[in-house]
Structure 1
Amino acid sequence: MINLKNLDRENWLLCAKLSLDESQKDYVAPNVYSIAESKVEEHFKKTLTENSS
């Protein structure tokens, strides 16, 4: 089961440390890049509740 949560001070580092299987590395960027984009790119700043409507 997948559990989606907004990132915060308590959980962002755990998310950044998640790793990909070698077979997936050509398809998905590491989470740390997505976390950084979400902080500087306006179109990435929606929350889970905003995306579910």
Structure 2
Amino acid sequence: MKKSQKIAIYISILAIVFFFALSAMTRNWGFFLWSLFPVFLILMTTIFIKPNKRKGVE
């Protein structure tokens, strides 16, 4: 896994934790629920990205 993919995964986990904490503090679970789909989309894009077969291109 590339360094940029690891960073994207860490940021996604941080976003989920942030929105969970925000929702728990405000007791408005809409913050957490509305953040699930975009974070899931970013994670799936990051995990299933196909590497470029040309040399020298990342």
Shorter-chain TM-score: what band? 0.3 to 0.5
Normalised by the size of structure 2, how large is the TM-score? Answer: 0.33
Greater fraction helix = 2
Larger radius of gyration: 2
